[in-house]
Amino acid sequence: MAPFVVREITCKSLINRVEGMPFNWSINPYRGCRHACVYCYARPTHEYLGLNGAEQFQEVIFAKVNAPAIVRAELSRRSWRAESVAIGTATDPYQQAETRYRLTRGILEAFRDFHNPLTITTKSPLVLRDLDLLSDLAQHASVGVQMTVTTMDERIWRLVEPTTPKPWKRIEALRVLHERGIRTGVFVSPILPGLTDDVGHMEAVVAAAAAADVDFVCGNVLRLAPGVKDYYVEFIEREFPQLSGQYRRMYPRTYAGGDYAETVSARLDSVSRRFGLSRDRLEKGNIAPVASQLSLFGAVA
């Protein structure tokens, strides 16, 4: 994979209002994502910047360098009602550029100081770098961290998420977070037809999540919106040509046709219940806004 560059930009606002979702606010300190997940729903957002959603999405990253100062100003407004904010709803707040820019850490420092609740969705154990801030905040407000774990199969993982940390490292990070009193979850998402939709793949992820004492597991089936579909189908034709026809039949539009999604969802629910991670735990934990991010992402970050 080609090297990536980071372009520094500034923003006028950072806490964005979200319409049509159970959670009301989101933050994304970066645009573009070095993780290069082939299924990422956010790829088309680069087109608004005059770039493509293919290679340039993962090779040209935009860092909102004034993000910590902006979020601190927004949290201090009299009109702000200290609502929970979802961090990482489009691209990963702990992607590789974060090791240099530390924007997410600066944002979390503001949330800690204002005792404002939040959830974080990521694929990176770099979140443990900020365990001190998350632990402090959890003493005063609701804090949740979710890891997307699409598969535990290392061959498939490396193909579909080329530069992400290994799945078992994500699971281990959740175990540490749980031990420090942070509410944790796993998004088995997106579930990829013909690749990760069988019981065996689901069991591997759910078993690992249960061993780490996560609070919930949930997931959803791949969605292929315009701007993502061509890129993903090209990947399938190159790496899994035997599945090409299946995908073209299943995805005449954004969502898989027929009752496929319902069947797969029921399969995941059944596996989760066997490991004591039923949706009851999700609902009782009052984190429906977190789970609903799945319908945004098709995969998170």
Q: Does a structural domain hold residue 281?
A: yes
**Residue 300 near residue 146 (C-beta atoms within 8 A):** yes
Count the residues in the chain: 301
**Residue 182 near residue 127 (C-beta atoms within 8 A):** no
Q: Does a structural domain hold residue 126?
A: yes
* Residue 294 pLDDT exceeds 50: no
Q: For the whole model, what pTM was predicted?
A: 0.92
Mean pLDDT of the chain: 92
* Residue with more model confidence, 49 or 197: 197
- CA distances 120 to 97, 100, 105, 129, 236, Å, are 17, 19, 12, 14, 30
Per residue in 24-65, pLDDT tens? Answer: 999 999 999 999 999 999 999 999 899 999 999 999 999 999
Percent of the chain exceeding pLDDT 70 equals 91
CA-wise closest residue to 224 among 60, 53, 92: 53
* Residue 297 pLDDT exceeds 60: no
Q: Does a structural domain hold residue 301?
A: no
Preceding omega of 117 cis (within 30 degrees of 0): no
Per residue in 83-132, pLDDT tens? Answer: 999 999 999 999 999 999 999 999 999 999 999 999 999 999 999 999 99
Tokens encoding 139: 């003493």
Per residue in 264-280, pLDDT tens? Answer: 999 999 999 999 996 65
Q: What is the DSSP letter of 123?
A: S
The total of other beta-carbon atoms located within 10 Å of residue 17's CB is 8
Q: What is the DSSP letter of 27?
A: E
**Residue 115 near residue 140 (C-beta atoms within 8 A):** yes
Where does the pLDDT of residue 299 fall: very low under 50, low under 70, confident under 90, or very high at 90 and above? very low
The secondary structure of 127-167 as a DSSP string is: GGGGHHHHHHHHTTS-EEEEEE---S-HHHHHHHSTTSPPH
Structural domain span for residue 88: 5-293
CATH, residue 18: 3.20.20.70
* Residue 214 pLDDT exceeds 50: yes
* Residue 153 pLDDT exceeds 90: yes
Q: Does a structural domain hold residue 116?
A: yes
Q: Does a structural domain hold residue 299?
A: no
Q: Does a structural domain hold residue 300?
A: no
In the chain, the number of structural domains is: 1
Q: Does a structural domain hold residue 42?
A: yes
Q: In the prediction, which pLDDT does 45 show?
A: 94
**Residue 102, C-beta contacts closer than 8 angstroms, at least 6 positions apart:** none
**Residue 39 near residue 251 (C-beta atoms within 8 A):** no
Where does the pLDDT of residue 21 fall: very low under 50, low under 70, confident under 90, or very high at 90 and above? low
Q: In the prediction, which pLDDT does 22 show?
A: 65
* Type of residue found at 83: E
Q: In the prediction, which pLDDT does 300 show?
A: 44
Q: Does a structural domain hold residue 298?
A: no
Where does the pLDDT of residue 298 fall: very low under 50, low under 70, confident under 90, or very high at 90 and above? very low
* Residue with more model confidence, 301 or 209: 209
